[in-house]
Each structure stands twice: as structure tokens, then as C-alpha cells.
Chains A and B, each alone.
Chain A
Amino acid sequence: MRDLFLKSFSALVLFGIVLSASQEASAIPAFARKYQTSCSTCHTVYPVLNSFGKAFKATGYRIPAGDDAFTKDEPVSLGAPAWKQVWPDALWPSDIPGGSVASFWLSSRYRVNKSAPITNEFDGLHEVYVLTGGTLGESFSFFMELEVIDGGTIPTAFGAALPRAFFQYNHPSHKFNVTYGLFEPRAELTSTRLRLMRLSDYLSNRYGMPPSGNSFSLAPNQRGFEVWGNVEGPGNRGGLEWFAGVVNGRDAGTPPGAGAYGAAISGLNTRLQAALAREGRTPVENNSNKDFYLGANFKIGGMGVLGGGASETELAQADNFVDNSATVGAFYYRGQAPALVTEAEREILDRDGNDFHRLGFKVDLNLHRANILYGVQRNRDQVRTVARNFDQLINMVEVRYVLWPWLIPAVRFENLNPNYGVAFNRTTLHASILARANIRISLEGILSRNSTTDPIRDYRRYDGGNDQRFDVRVDFAF
């Protein structure tokens, strides 16, 4: 497997050198269209955000130095700004995006899996997303992501077909904002949607608690609202991001989508569904008991969290992946979920039986061309009926390096150590080659070590059913 990986990696690098030496790309998604700028203005390798991209997101999808001077795509005016002076005798003015706000992201994979019945296959068009986002006047913004094809099939569940759709209020100071709708919460070590390694998601974001019957995961989305804000640091460097949210909490029924994690914990969900059927109940959604979370990230050095230090006259499109800085962050998430408990040799569902929390801490270092992320997360499920806590301690280190702007290798190491079973490791190797700013070829391989075939302890079942996988993936966006 490793030899195959190395040979393929070398071939891919050579292929990438040929492609990247050609003309620059001209295709651009919605934000790039609005400002007539390249993807590389905000992304190191999309969707991974560089510091400027994070500041752009923190200001409600606006150029931190001032949107007006950089907007090339004239918005449709819903009243000149001066109408504010006449309020309340007139409507408060606003605007909507002028041009097309739709962007498309397509990906295709060649999969190699020696343990699967089909050891290698081309999956055609694996994922098709329609992304849209923008601003509505000075104070509001929006973002929506529509999955047209996910995992090779057309998703039917709402949360799968529309993984993100939210509306935001942005205070002019950027110290207070509100996000409402369906969104990925900030209570994570790092974002699932914005991750570099697409084959494997973060265990800290997606792994459930099998023995308690809790399929809860922080990602990919939550329904509710989140308040958040940013305060720039002294000298317009670094700064603080704070956040808090109240959400439904993810349901304990069949997870949306047919991706790896849906299949990965299907054994757990089969048991959940069987327990529900015995009780004559429909899938459970704990909407009456809301989950809440809070946290903060503090950045030391580097570009200000609201873009301090960035040019106020031009958008940098190259050499903007260096931002020497350190970010420390922490979050706490608390929720309630059903618990799958055994009584009289049968599994039953205790609707409110599980009080759980997730506590995370991270250090994110940018050192010249390297990024090093270390995170530790403690997951605890407190199942009342059995008076027992199920714990997991997850350690993660992810390192990526910009070898050249078009070649970014990375590696992630994760260790999950439960108090109810055997610990396991997962190592993910990755290399991204940007043939163009919007065309990415990536090579990724997952290695994990497992020791038993117990349905609970066979962690391979929670990882797509295999312990070693290898993908070549092509992504392009426009």
C-alpha cells in the first residue's frame, strides 16, 4: 500500500508540474466574481482558508478594508445608503448581489480499497455542490450549500441535501454577529467543511459514542442560532474570536447522507431503529431539549482577526499563505441525547437518558510555510439508567506544508482512547496539487490499526468498513 502510494504520489507530482506550468485559470466562484480576484486571495488550497479568508468570513463575507472600493460586481440597490437619514419616514436602504451568486464544486474519485469487495473503482461524479453566499446591504449576509450529488447518489434527507443554509446579522464593529439557520457550529477543534483532507473527516467532529447509542456529532451541521464576534488585537495583529450557540442537537435517527459516516455507524443505527420499532416510536429528535455551547479562540501575532495589516488598496493573490502566528482555543458543548440501554436482554431507547458533553482545546501554529494543528477533545456521555460514563479522549495532530503554492503535502495523526474499549489510531496522508487555483488533484490514504472484530470495538466499521483506503480525487470549482 505504501509503495503504491509513493509511486502514485511521484507520478502525480510530475503531472502537477506540467499542469501548473501552463496559463493561469480564469474560472471564478461567487466571491471571486464579486471582487474579480483569484481563489488564492482567501484560500491556501480551497476550501482551506488563509488568514485573509478567515478575516473575510469574520466580517460577514466582506473585504475587511471596506467592501465598496473592491466590489467590481455592482449590487442591485434597494435604496441609496443616504435613505438612512430619512428613516423612519422611508425604508432602511440595502442591496442584493448584482451578478450570479451561484458557485459549483464538483469532485470525482478513483478509490483503492484492498479490503473491499471491489478493490478499485472510478466513481464518476462523486460530489456536486452548489454554493452561494453574499451580503445583503451593510448588516446582513447569507450562505447556502446544496448537495446535488453526495457519495455518488442524490441525497433525500433535508440535512443532507441542504447541509448549510444560514442567514447572518453582522454588527458594523464585527464584535457581535448572529447566525441563524442550518450551519456548522464553531464548537470544534477545526472545521469539517473547510478541511484539507476530504477522504477522512476528523474523528473529533464526527465520531459518535457507540456503547451509549449516541450518534451525535458536532459536524456537519446543527440547527439553531449562534452568536459570535471578533476583536482585533493590539497593533491590529491577532485578536480574539468568541462564540456561543443554542441548537437542536443532531438527531439520533439515521444520520443524513450516505457518506462514509452514515454507513460507518449503520450498525449502531440499525440497533436504534430496532429499539424504536419495538416501542412503536418514530425516529427521535430531541427538539425540546436544546444543546448549547460556547468557546473562544485567541490569536497571537499575524494578521488581525478582522484583517488588520492587510493591504487597504489591493487584494493580495499570491504569497499570502505565510502568517506567523499562534492560536489557542477551547470550546464546551453540552447536550442531551437518547440512550440505548439493555434491559431484560433487550435494547430499549431512553429518550432523555444521555447527558453528554464535548470539551476541546487546540493550538494552531503558523510557522512560515507550515501549519501545525494540535487538538485534544474529551467526549463524555453520562447514561443515567446504567449510572455510567462513557468517555473518549481524542488527540489529533495535523501538519501541512506549502512546498510550492501548487503543492501542499499534509499528514494527520489521530488517536481515540475510550474507557470502554481498545484505543485505536488513524493516520491520514495527503498531498494536494493545484493544477489551477480552482482545480485540485489530491492524493490521500488512510491507515488505521484495529485489533478486534467486536461490533462495538471493531473501529473499522466506523471508518467506512476498512482500515486502509487510498483515493485520488479531482475537484474543480467555478
Chain B
Amino acid sequence: MRRILGLLVLLAARAAISPAGAIPLSMLLFFAIPGKAQSGTLVGKIEVTTGKKDENSVIYLREVKGNYALPQKQAVMDQKGKAFIPHLLPVQQGQTVRFRNSDTFSHNAHVYWEKRSMSNQSQPPNGYTDWTPARTGEYLFLCNLHLEMSAFLLVFNHPFFAEVASSSEFQIENIPEGTYTLVAVRDVKGNLKEKATEVVIKSGETTRVTVKF
């Protein structure tokens, strides 16, 4: 609150001073953006013992409040070697998912949400289609042309998630300090299973966690 009030005062002061005023913009930004001093970093590892070991996992923080800008990087679900890559794709609500076909034959991305068909688009060889999920939650991708293909899309309303290759490390930065529920998600025999654990994020610190799945 004090930072916000300070910002307002400086904005008013800047407005009163000439455009080439002495108050630098960077100082204003310092008050506007929560810096490293108010957030921490989460690093960790998922040790995989269930499901197919070559399939990735997703980790995310549950129930994080706030408004966050969309990531700049394009979310891509590739179709290559008759497989969706990655198997679990996390995105932020509002992001568009590009279904790219890297095979030399056609594919089709059939999107389901709670057993309801939401989208069914074909992608020619080396082509792509775009689709934007309307809501948060879990979506299922299947290919009507190649039944062995499947993948899941997880849509969150914040950017605090990570895609984790099997038994690899992950890192999430700039997490507002506080206590959260960290959830690891994997595909186990066609259904997403979760493992939850509590983590405490402290300002300027790195919290380490290992999830066994």
C-alpha cells in the first residue's frame, strides 16, 4: 500500500515537472513492479516411477490469485512420429495453442473437454492450425486418424507452472511469497493423476522440492 501511495505521489510530481523531469521512469517502475525482493524461486525434481517414463509431467501451483501477463512464447503441440509432443502441455488462459504437423502425412487434433468435443481440425503435412481454449482446466487431445496418439492440455489462470521431462529438474521464478500447494500431474493409464505437496516461497530465496510419482 505504501508503495502504491508513493507511486501516486511520484506520478503527480512527474506530471507537475517538465517532460524532461528529474524523476526517472525506472524509479516509477521500481514502485510499480514487485521485484525480486517480494518473490522467490521454486526448483525441484519429479522422480517418476509410474506411467510411461518417456512421457513428461506438469507441475503447477494451485489457486494463485492475481492478474498476470500472457507469456510471449507460442504454445505448440507438435505431432511427430505419430505422437503428440509434449504429452502434457501447460498453458495460460488466453494463450493460443498451435497444432503443428511435423509428419509427412495428415493428422487431426480432436479436442475434448469433459467428454464434449470442442474442436476437430485436420493438419496437413508440415501444416498447422491454431485454437484457443475458452476456459481453464483439463483438455484431452486425440487423433481420429491415429488412435495411439493422445495428449492433455492444462490451462491455468496464472503463469506458475512448468513442463517437466521425465525425472528432470524444473524451475519457476518470480513466485509471490507465500504458502502454496504444489501439484505434480502425470498421465497414468489414460487418466491424469496428481500428487500434491505444500511449499513455502520466501522473498529472495530458492525453495527446493522433490516429488515422487
A: residues with CB less than 8 A from B are 66, 68-69, 77-86, 89, 93, 138, 312-313
The answer to whether A80 and B191 touch across the interface, beta carbons within 8 angstroms, is no
The answer to whether A138 and B49 touch across the interface, beta carbons within 8 angstroms, is no
The answer to whether A83 and B190 touch across the interface, beta carbons within 8 angstroms, is yes
Q: Which residues of A contact B142 (CB under 8 A)?
A: 80, 82-83, 86
Q: Taking A68-B52, A138-B189 as contacts, is the C-beta distance between A85 and B112 under 8 angstroms?
A: yes
Q: Which residues of A contact B52 (CB under 8 A)?
A: 68-69
Q: Which residues of B contact A78 (CB under 8 A)?
A: 147
| Cα distance A81–B152 in the bound complex, in angstroms | 12
Q: Taking A83-B142, A85-B190, A85-B191 as contacts, is the C-beta distance between A69 and B147 under 8 angstroms?
A: no
Q: Taking A80-B149, A312-B49 as contacts, is the C-beta distance between A86 and B190 under 8 angstroms?
A: no
The answer to whether A79 and B115 touch across the interface, beta carbons within 8 angstroms, is no
| Cα distance A313–B191 in the bound complex, in angstroms | 22
The answer to whether B190 and A81 touch across the interface, beta carbons within 8 angstroms, is yes
B198 at the interface (CB under 8 A from A): no
15 A–B contact pairs at CB < 8 A?
A69-B50, A69-B51, A69-B52, A79-B148, A81-B189, A82-B142, A82-B150, A82-B187, A82-B191, A83-B150, A85-B190, A86-B115, A86-B142, A138-B189, A312-B49
Q: Closest CB of chain A to B116's CB: distance in Å?
A: 10
B: residues with CB less than 8 A from A are 49-53, 112, 115, 140, 142, 147-150, 152, 187, 189-191
Other-chain contact of B147, A68, A80, A84 (Cβ < 8 Å):
A80
The answer to whether B112 and A86 touch across the interface, beta carbons within 8 angstroms, is yes
Q: Closest CB of chain A to B169's CB: distance in Å?
A: 20
The answer to whether B112 and A68 touch across the interface, beta carbons within 8 angstroms, is no
Known: A77-B147, A84-B191. 18 other contacts (CB 8 A): A66-B49, A68-B50, A68-B52, A69-B50, A69-B53, A77-B148, A78-B147, A79-B147, A80-B148, A80-B150, A81-B150, A81-B187, A82-B150, A82-B191, A83-B142, A84-B190, A86-B142, A138-B189
| Cα distance A82–B115 in the bound complex, in angstroms | 11
Count CB-based A-B contacts (< 8 Å).
55
Identify the interface centre among B112, B115, B149, B190: most chain A CB within 10 Å of its CB.
B190
Q: Closest CB of chain A to B84's CB: distance in Å?
A: 9
The answer to whether B147 and A93 touch across the interface, beta carbons within 8 angstroms, is yes
Q: Closest CB of chain B to A211's CB: distance in Å?
A: 56
Other-chain contact of A313, B49, B147, B149, B189 (Cβ < 8 Å):
B49
Residue in chain B with minimal CB distance to A75: B148
Q: Which residues of A contact B190 (CB under 8 A)?
A: 80-85, 93
Name the 5 nearest CB pairs between A and B, nearest first: A81-B190, A77-B148, A80-B150, A82-B150, A82-B190
The answer to whether A85 and B115 touch across the interface, beta carbons within 8 angstroms, is yes
| Cα distance A69–B213 in the bound complex, in angstroms | 12
Q: Closest CB of chain A to B159's CB: distance in Å?
A: 26
Q: Closest CB of chain A to B8's CB: distance in Å?
A: 51
The answer to whether B51 and A68 touch across the interface, beta carbons within 8 angstroms, is yes
Q: Closest CB of chain B to A436's CB: distance in Å?
A: 30
| Cα distance A313–B167 in the bound complex, in angstroms | 13
| Cα distance A84–B50 in the bound complex, in angstroms | 19
Q: Which residues of A contact B112 (CB under 8 A)?
A: 85-86
Q: Which residues of A contact B189 (CB under 8 A)?
A: 68, 81, 138
| Cα distance A362–B152 in the bound complex, in angstroms | 52
| Cα distance A80–B150 in the bound complex, in angstroms | 6
| Cα distance A136–B174 in the bound complex, in angstroms | 47
Q: Closest CB of chain B to A28's CB: distance in Å?
A: 22
Identify the interface centre among B115, B147, B191: most chain A CB within 10 Å of its CB.
B147
Residue in chain A with minimal CB distance to B47: A313
Residue in chain A with minimal CB distance to B143: A80
Residue in chain B with minimal CB distance to A77: B148
Q: Closest CB of chain A to B81's CB: distance in Å?
A: 12
Residue in chain B with minimal CB distance to A67: B189
Q: Closest CB of chain A to B39's CB: distance in Å?
A: 36
Q: Which residues of B contact A69 (CB under 8 A)?
A: 49-53
The answer to whether B115 and A89 touch across the interface, beta carbons within 8 angstroms, is yes
| Cα distance A24–B49 in the bound complex, in angstroms | 29
Q: Which residues of A contact B152 (CB under 8 A)?
A: 82
Q: Which residues of B contact A82 (CB under 8 A)?
A: 140, 142, 150, 152, 187, 190-191
Residue in chain B with minimal CB distance to A84: B190
Q: Which residues of B contact A80 (CB under 8 A)?
A: 142, 147-150, 190
Q: Which residues of B contact A84 (CB under 8 A)?
A: 190-191
Q: Which residues of B contact A66 (CB under 8 A)?
A: 49-50
Q: Which residues of B contact A81 (CB under 8 A)?
A: 150, 187, 189-191
Q: Closest CB of chain B to A56's CB: distance in Å?
A: 18
| Cα distance A93–B149 in the bound complex, in angstroms | 11
Q: Closest CB of chain A to B148's CB: distance in Å?
A: 4
The answer to whether B50 and A83 touch across the interface, beta carbons within 8 angstroms, is no
Identify the interface centre among B140, B150, B187, B191: most chain A CB within 10 Å of its CB.
B150
Residue in chain A with minimal CB distance to B112: A86
Identify the interface centre among B140, B148, B149: most chain A CB within 10 Å of its CB.
B148
Residue in chain B with minimal CB distance to A71: B52
| Cα distance A68–B149 in the bound complex, in angstroms | 16
| Cα distance A85–B150 in the bound complex, in angstroms | 11
| Cα distance A312–B112 in the bound complex, in angstroms | 34
| Cα distance A81–B150 in the bound complex, in angstroms | 8
Q: Which residues of A contact B187 (CB under 8 A)?
A: 81-82
Residue in chain A with minimal CB distance to B110: A86
Q: Closest CB of chain B to A284's CB: distance in Å?
A: 48
| Cα distance A94–B91 in the bound complex, in angstroms | 30
Q: Closest CB of chain B to A338's CB: distance in Å?
A: 50
| Cα distance A89–B149 in the bound complex, in angstroms | 17
Q: Which residues of B contact A86 (CB under 8 A)?
A: 112, 115, 140, 142
Q: Closest CB of chain A to B147's CB: distance in Å?
A: 4
| Cα distance A79–B140 in the bound complex, in angstroms | 14
| Cα distance A138–B191 in the bound complex, in angstroms | 13
Q: Which residues of B contact A85 (CB under 8 A)?
A: 112, 115, 140, 190-191
| Cα distance A79–B146 in the bound complex, in angstroms | 8
Q: Which residues of B contact A93 (CB under 8 A)?
A: 147, 190
Q: Closest CB of chain B to A279's CB: distance in Å?
A: 58
Q: Which residues of B contact A77 (CB under 8 A)?
A: 147-148
Q: Which residues of B contact A138 (CB under 8 A)?
A: 189
Residue in chain B with minimal CB distance to A81: B190
| Cα distance A288–B175 in the bound complex, in angstroms | 74
